[in-house]
Chain A
Amino acid sequence: MRSPRFLTVTSRVFKELRNDRRTLALIVIAPVFAMFVFGLAFSGEVHDVPLIVVNQDQGAAPVPGAAIVSISGKIIANLDTKTLSISTESDPAKARSDIEDGDAYGALVFPEGFTASVVSEPSGATTSIELLLDKSNINVATAITQAVNEALLETMDQAGEKPPVTVDMVAVFGQNAKFMDFFVPGIMAFTVYLITTLLTLITFVGERTSGTLQRMLATTLSERDIVMGYAVTFSLIGMGQALLLLIIAILVFDISVVGNVLLAFLVIALLAVVSQAMGILLSSTARREAQAIQVLPFVVLPAFLLSGIFWPIEAIPSWLRPLSYLVPPTYAVDASRAVMLKGWGVSEIWIDIVALLAMAAFFLTLAVFSLKTRKD
């Protein structure tokens, strides 16, 4: 039996890629590069923030005659030295000027007689320490505040003091989940989306400008055969890239995958089909290969900002949120994240799959149509 005609297109595109080392390198290296850049830069934790500690407290005896203790010292000892890079300073004014000069992000100042005041205060009253912060960098300022709070709670706990109310966190999903676990499905979807759209766009503008598209259309191949041939090629490449990304994520970044990886691949392959159809469609707007680059911002930015790769869709202003649902990677990110982190199956992510299928049908139809209208 003869194989379907569109497979001749598939096999041809693969041969072209095999002959073209550069593009082949783009396909293989770009995902690896993306994984390392994102993975290393966005590990999601703040490290080694310079913080100055000014301790003017001399300590005090908890009861008259007992040994002198220093509560400020205990708090300082409890500061997280992974997040903070601590230096000491005796003059609060100097600490302030260091922040002003950009040498430190914060200064923690314990006033004179701090321990004495804590020990002698009746319960219910409060003693304060001062935290000077450079709040122009919100992430860093938040990390410092959190580290100081944790050190205070830790010290109270050691002293046998309990806060009146505590919160017990129970992880329904994502027990021990790290930021990378959350991030990897996003990188997978984004990389596959970007490279597939770009590659189809460039290859197809080439088909249009060189005349090979017309030549194909003068044969027994139909517009549908051509689009199908490309779809099969790029969904296979997309799956390969997803596999590569996942291997690096597991081996290098030690992410944990709870669910069925095959299902996540299926979702990514669907995304690749949508992306290649978009690439063909966009290629009709370009007359030369250079013009293809002009559509790039419209491909990259919405996906980058609106599809929930870096921050949840809930963090996008509500009036903008409907746009998120028009960007194909949104569904792939949501679905592959649910599969990999929560172990969800088809019965839970079917809405995402239906959305991707609908988008695939929509864009494939438009792509076929865009080839037909060239005949006028």
Chain B
Amino acid sequence: MEAESTENAIETRGLTKRFGRFTAVDSLDLEIARGEIYGLLGPNGAGKTTTIKMLCGLLKTTDGRAQVAGMPAGDRRASADIGYMPQEVALYEGLTVHQNIRFFGRVFGLSGRQTDEREEELLEFVNLAEWRDVLVARLSGGMKHRVSLTCALVHSPALLLLDEPTVGVDPELRVSFWDYFTRIKGRGRTIVITTHYMDEARRCDRIGFMRDGRLIAEGTVPEIQSLAGKEDLEDAFMVLAERSEGGEAA
């Protein structure tokens, strides 16, 4: 293996994904440091989910390379360090909350007791302790999202890949999610998160704007604001998107 910087949790070079003639992700270069919260922003179809899926090894890359947790993306040894929360709920509806969490805990090699301890702590945090023995099928959409997040966190992964974790979650809980993210970041965890909410972007250490599979701007929020000359992130995105298109035309 080539010598890679061990500082970074994620490094990609020219990462590309094509589905037939459609290019979903177009030579993406990312460097995400350990202990960083990185937000991937952009409209639907920008390539955020495809990027996340390549990083956790669910999609093969067409071109370029990606290092995740010090290993090539898709290497199963890296999986133990990754907590992936997909966009869709992706839970066993026929199992209870507890049974779902237990399954994902066991899959990552946790003992029954370890899983139970983590479960108690996490259900307290997502406010679902009373729903422990209820079938997931009976829960509301927002509750399912919270259980899904719990399943991604159960094995205390060093790197979290969260695909729109706050969709359908009420504002109050969204705030507590972010408090939690900041807290575990303090313990050296890296979090990559995709989101539509610009207010959430402000809580990221750095954000990357994606459009048509490409990273059109990257930096801290103040950096992005000054780059675009706009205070509002949504306006900033529009300006940067236009600029990138102009650059293409030139």
Residue A16 is within 8 A (CB to CB) of chain B in the complex: yes
Q: Given contacts A214-B86, A218-B84, are A15 and B99 in contact (CB under 8 A)?
A: yes
Contact, CB under 8 Å: B60 / A376 = yes
Which residues of A from 130 to 175 have beta carbons under 8 Å from B? none
**Bound: A5/B58 CA distance, A:** 19
Q: How far is the CB of A312 from chain B (nearest CB, A)?
A: 42
Contact, CB under 8 Å: A216 / B86 = no
Q: Given contacts A218-B79, A375-B58, are A19 and B95 in contact (CB under 8 A)?
A: yes
Contact, CB under 8 Å: A210 / B91 = yes
Which of B57, B59, B106 has the largest number of chain A CB atoms within 10 A?
B106
Chain A residues closer than 8 Å to B82, beta-carbon distance: 218
Residue B175 is within 8 A (CB to CB) of chain A in the complex: no
Number of chain A interface residues as a range? 20 to 34
Contact, CB under 8 Å: A219 / B91 = no
Residue A217 is within 8 A (CB to CB) of chain B in the complex: yes
Partner of A211, one of B76, B88, B99, B103: B88
Chain A residues closer than 8 Å to B90, beta-carbon distance: 210-212, 214-215
Residue A221 is within 8 A (CB to CB) of chain B in the complex: yes
Chain A residues closer than 8 Å to B166, beta-carbon distance: none
- Mark A203-225 against chain B: 1 for CB-CB distance below 8 A, else 0: 00000001110111111111000
**Bound: A146/B104 CA distance, A:** 66
- Mark B97-119 against chain A: 1 for CB-CB distance below 8 A, else 0: 00100011011110000000000
Whose C-beta in chain B lies nearest to the C-beta of A203? Answer: B94
Q: Given contacts A16-B94, A214-B90, are A8 and B58 in contact (CB under 8 A)?
A: no
Which residues of A from 275 to 327 have beta carbons under 8 Å from B? none
Residue B126 is within 8 A (CB to CB) of chain A in the complex: no
Contact, CB under 8 Å: B84 / A12 = no
Whose C-beta in chain B lies nearest to the C-beta of A225? Answer: B107
Q: Given contacts A15-B99, A19-B95, A220-B76, are A215 and B109 in contact (CB under 8 A)?
A: no
Whose C-beta in chain A lies nearest to the C-beta of B148? Answer: A215
**Bound: A11/B103 CA distance, A:** 9
- Mark A11-49 against chain B: 1 for CB-CB distance below 8 A, else 0: 110011001100000000000000000000000000000
Contact, CB under 8 Å: B88 / A12 = no
**Secondary structure of the A contact surface, majority rule:** helix
Chain B residues closer than 8 Å to A210, beta-carbon distance: 88-93
Contact, CB under 8 Å: B108 / A219 = yes
Contact, CB under 8 Å: B57 / A12 = no
Number of interface residues of B (CB under 8 A): 31
Partner of B103, one of A2, A12, A220: A12
Residue B216 is within 8 A (CB to CB) of chain A in the complex: no
Whose C-beta in chain A lies nearest to the C-beta of B80? Answer: A220
Residue B96 is within 8 A (CB to CB) of chain A in the complex: yes
Which of B59, B74, B92 has the largest number of chain A CB atoms within 10 A?
B92
Residue B169 is within 8 A (CB to CB) of chain A in the complex: no
Q: Given contacts A16-B94, A20-B94, A375-B58, are A216 and B99 in contact (CB under 8 A)?
A: no
Chain A residues closer than 8 Å to B151, beta-carbon distance: 215
Q: How far is the CB of A221 from chain B (nearest CB, A)?
A: 5
Residue B122 is within 8 A (CB to CB) of chain A in the complex: no
- Mark B60-84 against chain A: 1 for CB-CB distance below 8 A, else 0: 1000000000000010100110101
Partner of A19, one of B56, B89, B96: B96
**Bound: A212/B85 CA distance, A:** 11
Residue B135 is within 8 A (CB to CB) of chain A in the complex: yes
Whose C-beta in chain B lies nearest to the C-beta of A209? Answer: B88
Which of A2, A19, A215, A375 has the largest number of chain B CB atoms within 10 A?
A215
Chain B residues closer than 8 Å to A212, beta-carbon distance: 90-92
Partner of A8, one of B74, B93, B107: B107
**Bound: A372/B92 CA distance, A:** 21
Contact, CB under 8 Å: B60 / A375 = yes
Chain A residues closer than 8 Å to B60, beta-carbon distance: 375-376
**Bound: A231/B80 CA distance, A:** 24
Contact, CB under 8 Å: B95 / A211 = no
**Bound: A8/B106 CA distance, A:** 6
Contact, CB under 8 Å: A16 / B56 = no
Contact, CB under 8 Å: A215 / B99 = no
Partner of B58, one of A2, A15, A214, A220: A214
Contact, CB under 8 Å: A5 / B107 = yes
**Bound: A42/B74 CA distance, A:** 55
Q: Given contacts A218-B82, A222-B76, are A16 and B107 in contact (CB under 8 A)?
A: no
Which residues of A from 214 to 252 have beta carbons under 8 Å from B? 214-222
Whose C-beta in chain A lies nearest to the C-beta of B17? Answer: A376
Contact, CB under 8 Å: A215 / B106 = no
Contact, CB under 8 Å: A219 / B95 = no
Contact, CB under 8 Å: A15 / B108 = no
Partner of B107, one of A19, A20, A220: A220
**Bound: A212/B86 CA distance, A:** 9
Complex A-B: 22 CB contacts under 8 Å: A8-B103, A15-B99, A19-B95, A19-B99, A20-B94, A210-B89, A210-B90, A210-B92, A211-B89, A214-B90, A215-B84, A215-B86, A215-B151, A216-B107, A217-B58, A218-B82, A218-B84, A218-B86, A219-B104, A220-B109, A222-B76, A376-B60
Q: Which 9 A-B pairs have the closest CB atoms?
A: A211-B90, A211-B88, A218-B84, A8-B106, A16-B94, A215-B90, A218-B56, A12-B103, A219-B107
In the complex, given contacts A8-B107, A219-B108, A376-B59, what are 6 additional A-B residue pairs having Cβ atoms less than 8 angstroms apart? Answer: A5-B109, A15-B95, A15-B103, A214-B86, A220-B108, A375-B59
